[in-house]
Amino acid sequence: MIFIERPETNPFFNIAAEEYVLKYFEEDVLMLWQSEASVVVGKHQNTLKEVNLDFIRQNNVLVIRRISGGGTVYHDLGNLNYTLISTGSSPEKLIDFHKFTAPVRGFLKTLGIQSEFEGKNNMTIKGRKFSGNSAHVFKKRVMHHGTLLFETNLERLEKSILPGGANIRDKAVQSVRATVGNIAEHLPADYSIEQFKNSFKRFLLAYFHISEIRPLSPADKAAINKLADEKYKQWKWNYGYSPAYTFQNEVDGLSLKLAVKNGIIIEVEIDGELGGKMLLQEKLVGLAHHPKEITDLIEAVYSNGDNSLAIKLFGF
């Protein structure tokens, strides 16, 4: 096993790096990394149902879909991410969250913190969740990864992943909301996340008997940036990949129902008194369910009048 140094904090690069290392490295790999403010949704989730669009837009919180399943998590520089990629002979036996999280619980114990494994893939301290974990299998390799809330801004976390008021019906995987807490609450006030990261790294190097530490090569970084640009920065992946759903909203006597598949609006129903309704309905079919595209369309349809009501109807 090797340890890869990961100083990058760009969320798109960091999520892309996991997929790249999983698919193109042969060695077992361990990584610790941090990202700037971002919401990371599970592969099989409906992004619009998991995030607070108004809050993330107003606060420049990025949204990225990962390749592993599970629920939505929040990243910022007060959170430490832990990724372990390994190879096995039996793909059906690769995922083992108890085994993956054991080093975390062991390390916390050295700091005098008693943590517990709860549910399918979470860790808690005194009943409050500080770590959510997920996994993805690729051929005979598995990527386990998880969050470690150390001194995360919990208010921003809660507001970022609090869904908006619009009604979305689907069969997507839904996040299970939990009371969260930071690891730092159980440590001396002057114990920094850098101290935590460095101590945890030393613990892991010994735990896994790792002797080789190296950074990503320039070629690796170029390939990861390419993957980030072509996939992880794209609306088609982050929002459009969501399972088929219906979107409903009501505003001032108007009601809207959209049927969306692969991120594209395939059916539209608008009930109530709204000028230009028929033209709007016609042009919406085949359009991406995306704030900018819909807002641009509304502005074009209502270029000579007030479009605020129509924009509110779509939840923007």
Query: Over the stretch 188-244, which tens digit does the pLDDT of each residue have?
Result: 999 999 999 999 999 999 999 999 999 999 999 999 999 999 999 999 999 989 889
More confident residue, 264 or 171: 264
Structure-model confidence comparison of residues 37 and 255, the more confident one: 37
Please give the angle made by the CA atoms of 239, 243 and 248, to the nearest 5 degrees. 80
Average pLDDT, the chain: 91
End-to-end CA distance of the chain: 47
For the cut 90, the answer to whether the pLDDT of residue 273 exceeds it is: no
Give percent helix, percent strand, percent coil of the chain, each to the nearest 5: 35, 30, 35
CA distance 69 to 142: 13
- Annotate 82-115 with b (16+ C-beta within 10 A) or e (fewer): bbbbbeeeeeeebbebeebbebbbebbeebebeb
Task: Give residue 315's region: left, alpha or beta (phi > 0; psi -120 to 50).
Answer: left
Six-digit token string for 275: 């000028």
**In which band, very low, low, confident or very high, does the pLDDT at 307 lie, cut at 50, 70 and 90?**
confident
E strand spans, 18-158: 29-33, 38-41, 62-65, 73-75, 79-87, 116-118, 122-125, 128-138, 141-149
pLDDT at 168 > cutoff 80: no
Q: What is the pLDDT of residue 162?
A: 72
Residue range 76-82: average pLDDT?
A: 98
SS3 (DSSP) at 87: strand
Q: Is the pLDDT of residue 2 over 60?
A: yes
Rounded to whole angstroms, the Cα distance separating 184 from 173 reads 31
Does residue 109 have a pLDDT over 80? yes
Q: Is 250 helix (H, G, I), strand (E, B) or coil?
A: strand
Strand intervals (E) in the chain: 2-5, 29-33, 38-41, 62-65, 73-75, 79-87, 116-118, 122-125, 128-138, 141-149, 167-170, 212-215, 245-251, 254-261, 264-271
Q: What is the mean pLDDT of residues 47-58?
A: 89
CATH code, 2-238: 3.30.930.10
pLDDT at 60: 94
CATH code linked to domain 245-313: 3.30.390.50
Amino acid at 57: R
**For residues 33-41, average pLDDT:** 98
Band the pLDDT of 176: cuts 50, 70, 90.
low
